[in-house]
Amino acid sequence: MNVVLLGPPGAGKGTQAARIAGTFDLLHLSSGDILRAERKARTELGRKAQDYMDRGVLVPDDLILAMMMDHIARPEAAAGFLLDGFPRTLAQAEGLDQRLAARGARIEIVVNMVVDDAEVTRRLTGRWSCPTDGRIYHEMFSPPRKAGVCDDCGSALTRRKDDEPEVVGQRLKTYHAETKPLVAYYTSRGVLQSVDAGGSVEEVTASIERVCRRS
């Protein structure tokens, strides 16, 4: 089973992707995680992506498509994969379908996680992380015991540049302009299912599992 999770930044795609991939034994491929790893390693792709990511705009289609197909082609993806954060544009979706068709594969389920802009902003601007161990905190949902300090190692918490309020606003504009057309595209292909992503983590997981089992 090959699955795509759609939704705005902050919809909870990463959290749900890890859960759904585990339940259905799929390879979880997060474009954001892969890009950040490339950036940290200062690869050619990472250097090219740095400026785009920091401004909250999309990495060019040709770069992201080539990177994701490299991972999809790996043996561990043969039994099925779940794409988180990709595709984000119509060109990426069309390119993905063409490349998968050449391999005798296709996207079977697209789950559209629906959440409004106000909730997205609240979720993202309150998010902080530990630069030492990567633990994620949130001012409202999972605050550290001491404000601004990691519970585990005592490091000062930082906020990702793309979670700054002004960048979040740009990310949402980019989503509405570039990514929402994918809803129409995948609807026309008969593979799109929408779920309410405004509930608890467990409620959203249950909704997505029901969609996957019915498809």
* HSE, side-chain direction, 13 A CA sphere, residue 164: 10
pLDDT for the residue numbered 162 = 81
Q: Which of 123, 171, 173, 214 is catalytic?
A: 171
Verify whether residue 127 is a known catalytic residue: yes
Q: Which of 48, 88, 122, 135 is catalytic?
A: 88
Verify whether residue 160 is a known catalytic residue: yes
Token pair in block for residue 188: 């026309």
pLDDT for the residue numbered 91 = 92
Residue-by-residue pLDDT tens, the chain, 215 positions: 999 999 988 888 988 999 999 999 999 999 878 887 878 888 887 888 887 777 777 678 888 898 899 889 999 999 999 999 899 889 999 999 999 999 999 999 999 999 999 888 888 888 899 999 888 898 888 899 999 999 999 999 998 888 888 888 888 988 888 888 899 999 999 999 999 998 888 999 999 999 999 87
Q: Which of 40, 127, 173, 210 is catalytic?
A: 127
Task: State which residues form the domain around 12.
Answer: 3-115+179-214
Question: How many separate helices (H) and strands (E) can be counted in the chain?
Answer: 9, 7
Q: Which of 55, 99, 159, 160 is catalytic?
A: 160
Verify whether residue 189 is a known catalytic residue: no
Q: Is residue 123 part of a domain?
A: no
Separation between Cα atoms, residue 75 and residue 200, nearest integer Å = 34
pLDDT for the residue numbered 160 = 84
pLDDT for the residue numbered 39 = 81
Q: Is residue 151 part of a domain?
A: no
Q: Is residue 32 part of a domain?
A: yes
pTM, two decimal places: 0.78
CB-based burial, 179-196: b 16+ in 10 Å, e otherwise: beebeebbeeeebbbbbe
Q: Is residue 74 part of a domain?
A: yes
What percentage of residues in the chain have a pLDDT greater than 70?
99
Separation between Cα atoms, residue 47 and residue 127, nearest integer Å = 25
Q: Which of 13, 47, 146, 159 is catalytic?
A: 13
| Domains in the chain, number | 1
pLDDT for the residue numbered 49 = 80
Q: Is residue 125 part of a domain?
A: no
- Token pair 């302009």 in the structure block, residue: 177
Q: Is residue 164 part of a domain?
A: no
pLDDT for the residue numbered 180 = 81
Instruction: Residue 38: give its domain's CATH number.
Output: 3.40.50.300
Residue 113: alpha-carbon gap to chain centroid? 11
The burial of 63, by beta-carbon neighbours within 10 Å (0-12 exposed, 13-18 middle, 19 or more buried), is given as: middle
Verify whether residue 42 is a known catalytic residue: no
Token pair in block for residue 157: 């918490």
CB of 192 within 8 A of CB of 186? Answer: yes
Q: Is residue 163 part of a domain?
A: no
pLDDT for the residue numbered 25 = 95
Q: Is residue 78 part of a domain?
A: yes
CB of 32 within 8 A of CB of 39? Answer: no
Verify whether residue 103 is a known catalytic residue: no
CB-based burial, 29-58: b 16+ in 10 Å, e otherwise: bbbeebbeebbeeeeebbeebeeebeebbb
